[in-house]
Structure 1
């Protein structure tokens, strides 16, 4: 197995649109690559989604003002440069010239302003991305290729946010003409152009020969939506899939891929963390002692080594060690089943008390881990059951609507590698990932770190948030998983992305 700690992506990528005239792909761009992703995002509009599966595809359709590659460095994207003005209250972006959207519209300052007016307006209010960009008060056009972002508060991770998801730049005229149809017919400035979309089945792209970052080195890029891990791996073995992206491949299937002479496993440390969060509104998990007891019942070290084969690391707070705000000194509750029994007794919890654990049905590793957790909880006198949900149902309905059992799986990419992006979404009152919490002190801490421009001071507050959450036992933190890719050896120049956002314009195929 190839283990990569860091990688540098040589170029950028993008995509284009169906329903628009397509340029002929040059002869030097040859070959088709097919990628398996575990979920159909159902909309390709940047403001509609938070899903990693969306980014795995759409990173090749759209560009942001900035770009962050596998080396985690922020570099120019559609903005050639930027500078802070007015003591950080304004950021001025100089935009690339001679860039066109896939439908022929010119990329310019008007497109940037339209994108962010839409994101921060009524359209953006319908989706999950707007709250990530509320530090932007307005976007002002200085000239056709210069814009100022006027900020209502400092945002220390804004440049990273501009590299992904809701901040992807869209073509004004096309979006206005298409309306809701834009969801299914995306147009960006990227290295690949949209061809067709078959919901629940696939999305097909073709090379954009006029891409500002250089024409792609393959002619077609297709994505298939395969939720079942065994099916994805079988298709990889059969040669009908070239790349399987995380989190599809369960640990148990790594030897299967490694045993094939034409395949390889590429594993990189990533931001994705898993936890079982608590319903703090209903049932026995409203009691802090019960939550602490559950955490103390589970031997996470054994899970990481025995179930996950070392392809993960334990976590104490809901972030990876690569996250800004991670506190290596923070001590979690120890594995102590006898202490857990004592706490349950003090809380008056009877033997055999029921406990429902909601998980994603297609997450093979979590399914196995959940079975082990059931055994641990049974050992301290609880009666847990597992309720699997189709992923989109769990994350789009059950969790946001507060309809979970006592515990529910939360898998979070933390793609900004900054604890704010995770903690604010998970713990601030009113956020969709926080259906049960209403803690004024935690809200105060979360809000207090956002305006801080002193990196050290902000880091202190983020660590304080991590400790506060641990003290309140708001979740059973489990592990930070590696990003595990299955790759055909016919694919050359492949660089694994820790955050799953693969730009594939530089790959070639034999």
Structure 2
């Protein structure tokens, strides 16, 4: 076995592109950091559950990064550093990782960190009773965790997993108090207990979450900008869905930090610092139901849909250059991104019409929509109000309008959360839109892997079974050779684009408006805002 306290040379070489790291610390000038004070961070979306093993929402990761620590830290450059594990060893065959834990770590309930806590956290994530929506999928290769002694745990895998360290660095696998996992099974969503720089205080639904400084915190990850307890006394996260209200709260001083829609970036630049970083993972994407018997099972219809829409102009007109057009199913900030997919197809409604004619959709009804065997060419696209953030509703309306010009009806319908859950469960939809943050190309397996179903903590909501793509994604995560991994993931990205498996739309950016008297807010590897080092100038 080989020992490392950073990423192995193999994993270091996997980084082909990294997320830029912004920090409000650059604005401090001669001011000196202070301790104390209350900071309020306004965000558009409320989490569904604060048990990190359950939720898949980005906002859950943002909040939980303050509450939970991870075994390792991924830096913005893609390298891995000690955190709760002070060092680790990897078996030559890549099927086992042995972690040696640092001493003196205590959870917010006073429980001591030990190897049994790590095992309990990982076992909880993969337990079907947890109903994980993401963490279980990250641990698809997990077989068991073996406790050697109080400070040593070995994670055993069914196959090599080149993404394991990145997996274990995410807040979705933050280490939980074993006492809480054991004694508070029904309250994990609303009473999270970790060992992070802030501890959970309360959650007022539809209003906000309150956190307080954990004064005993003394185990910051190696390489972190700030070491030791958080500087702030309290951190409050408020949920304000309306962009204008949220940004008005920032400019008026009611909140000190706010996420900022790309289209509104100019409105805050005069009154606040603007921190910006490109998000790794999956771009904002329209996923297509190409399962058997679906209208989009015909590749010609999928190709026609993407030819029918002028995405270049649509993205430019909505985001004014803050977000760029996406081409690949990965963002450029994701390791092993392949730029060869750029300009793979063009806006060409004449070609879209030709493809639809070739596919047999030759007739038109009185509304101008295409027909085949008496059936209208209709694509169902339900969405919720939360999915309209960042003006994505304008993307939906634009696609709907331009698709109609070639005879495709898109039913872009606003529904409630319960309804969309039912539709997804019945697979009674043709389009589904989402972006997803992860600084590893294995995010592709989450969406396109045959076994990455909702029941297994994956995001393959249409149950797609594409053997050639599935093999690429399985080989990619199982291969430890960096050059081979690059080839595999390049092939996978090209396969998705060439076969119109999905429709990438734009590359999200994480934008934060930060009041000018607030310093030390920065982005982590997954474009997650970090508040442990934040402070307020007098």
| TM-score, normalized by the shorter chain, greater than 0.5 | yes
Q: 1:419 aligns to what SS in structure 2?
A: coil
Contact 2:22-2:276 within 8 A present in 1 as well:
no
Q: 1:106 aligns with which of 112, 115, 133?
A: 112
The alpha-carbon distance between structure 1 residues 424 and 196, as it changes in their structure 2 partners (threshold 3 A), is closer
Q: For residues 246-295 of structure 1, give each alpha carbon's deviation from its aligned partner in whole angstroms, at most 9, with x where no partner exists.
A: xxx33332222124x3x232221112511112222455323211110111
Q: Does 1:403 align with 2:428?
A: yes
- The residue number in structure 1 matching 2:496 is 469
Residue 9 of structure 1: how far off its partner (Å): 10
Spell out the pairing of 1:318-357 with structure 2 (5 A cutoff): 318-330=329-341, 332-349=344-361, 350-351=363-364, 352-353=369-370, 354-357=378-381
Residue 434 of structure 1: how far off its partner (Å): 2.0
Contact 2:141-2:158 within 8 A present in 1 as well:
yes
So what's the TM-score if we normalise by structure 2? Answer: 0.83
Spell out the pairing of 1:17-416 with structure 2 (5 A cutoff): 29-212=35-218, 213=220, 214-245=228-259, 249-259=260-270, 261=271, 263-271=272-280, 273-281=283-291, 284-330=295-341, 332-349=344-361, 350-351=363-364, 352-353=369-370, 354-361=378-385, 362-390=388-416, 392-393=417-418, 396-399=421-424, 401-404=426-429, 406-413=430-437, 415=438
Contact 2:308-2:403 within 8 A present in 1 as well:
yes
- Counterpart-to-counterpart distance in 2, 1:299 and 1:275: 15
- Counterpart-to-counterpart distance in 2, 1:370 and 1:264: 31
CA RMSD of aligned residues (A): 2.5
Q: For residues 388-419 of structure 1, give each alpha carbon's deviation from its aligned partner in whole angstroms, at most 9, with x where no partner exists.
A: 345x5587554354232x32212222x1x222
- Counterpart-to-counterpart distance in 1, 2:262 and 2:528: 21
Q: For residues 157-211 of structure 1, give each alpha carbon's deviation from its aligned partner in whole angstroms, at most 9, with x where no partner exists.
A: 1101101133211111222111211221111000001111112221100001110
- The residue number in structure 2 matching 1:5 is 20
The alpha-carbon distance between structure 1 residues 190 and 397, as it changes in their structure 2 partners (threshold 3 A), is farther
Q: For residues 440-496 of structure 1, give each alpha carbon's deviation from its aligned partner in whole angstroms, at most 9, with x where no partner exists.
A: 333233223332121111221222222222232122221112111122112112223
Q: 1:450 aligns to what SS in structure 2?
A: helix
So what's the TM-score if we normalise by structure 1? Answer: 0.88
The alpha-carbon distance between structure 1 residues 146 and 429, as it changes in their structure 2 partners (threshold 3 A), is closer
Q: Does 1:425 align with 2:473?
A: no
Q: 1:173 aligns to what SS in structure 2?
A: helix
The alpha-carbon distance between structure 1 residues 5 and 440, as it changes in their structure 2 partners (threshold 3 A), is closer
- The residue number in structure 2 matching 1:15 is none
What stretches of structure 2 of length at least 5 have no aligned partner? 1-18, 26-32, 221-227, 371-377
- Counterpart-to-counterpart distance in 2, 1:394 and 1:66: 38
What stretches of structure 1 of length at least 5 have no aligned partner? 11-26
Q: 2:189 aligns to what SS in structure 1?
A: helix
Q: For residues 314-369 of structure 1, give each alpha carbon's deviation from its aligned partner in whole angstroms, at most 9, with x where no partner exists.
A: 22221111223322223522211111111112223244144443344332421122
The alpha-carbon distance between structure 1 residues 121 and 469, as it changes in their structure 2 partners (threshold 3 A), is same
Q: For residues 71-115 of structure 1, give each alpha carbon's deviation from its aligned partner in whole angstroms, at most 9, with x where no partner exists.
A: 443211111111213443322211110110001011111211221
Contact 1:320-1:326 within 8 A present in 2 as well:
yes
